[in-house]
Amino acid sequence: MSREPTDHPVLDRVLQLLVIEETLTVEQWVLRLASETPELVRLALKSLVGRGVLEQTESRFLWVLRSRRYPVIDGREQKEAKLRILSTLLGEDLPTPHDTVLLGLARAGGLLEAFLTSAEIARLEGRMEQVSGIDLFVRGVESAIREDQVERARAMMLPMY
């Protein structure tokens, strides 16, 4: 596997881990990388701020707690991502590999609820299954998230004593 930097800080961070660790399945990698999530999100936000897509604002809550937000500057990139997802969902053509993964991961992460109603999501479920099922990586991520949710639900059901 190439160790060459990709110019995407998040990918470079994951690549560093991929080359030093043993071979794992997609499910195992998702669970392994879960502990890295805060750092990966921080890197992605920093990259978006650096590219002028988001701005970073800070405020204080009750004088002590710090709140950080990332308002979208002109919304072009966010709108474009949403439109590509909608186009994939409403179209009948085979989407590009990039759009297949974008839709699959947005669905697995519960991000579609931000711009589609529950009724629309339910109506488009068949198309989502069809598109997400194409990609092995998306199926692995969905499976890892399901597994994690089952584990968490089981942990909550355990007696406290």
Partner 1 sequence: MIGLVEELVLLAIEDDGAIAHTAGSVGFVCE
Q: Are 132 and 146 in contact (CB under 8 A)?
A: no
Mode of pairing for the β-strands spanning 57-61 and 65-69: antiparallel
| Residues that contact partner 1, how many (by CB under 8 A) | 43
Residue 126's Cβ-count burial label (10 Å; 0-12, 13-18, 19+) is: exposed
Alpha-carbon gap, residue 96 to 100, rounded angstroms: 6
Q: Is 35 in the site for partner 1 (CB under 8 A)?
A: yes
Q: Is 66 in the site for partner 1 (CB under 8 A)?
A: yes
Q: Is 60 in the site for partner 1 (CB under 8 A)?
A: no
Q: Is 32 in the site for partner 1 (CB under 8 A)?
A: no
Minimum distance from residue 141 beta carbon to partner 1 (Å): 7
Q: Which of residues 68, 74, 136, 161 is near partner 1 by CB under 8 A?
A: 68
Site string for partner 1, 96-135 (x = CB under 8 A): --x--xx--xx-xxxx--x---------------------
**Cβ neighbours around 61 below 10 Å, total:** 8
Q: Is 10 in the site for partner 1 (CB under 8 A)?
A: yes
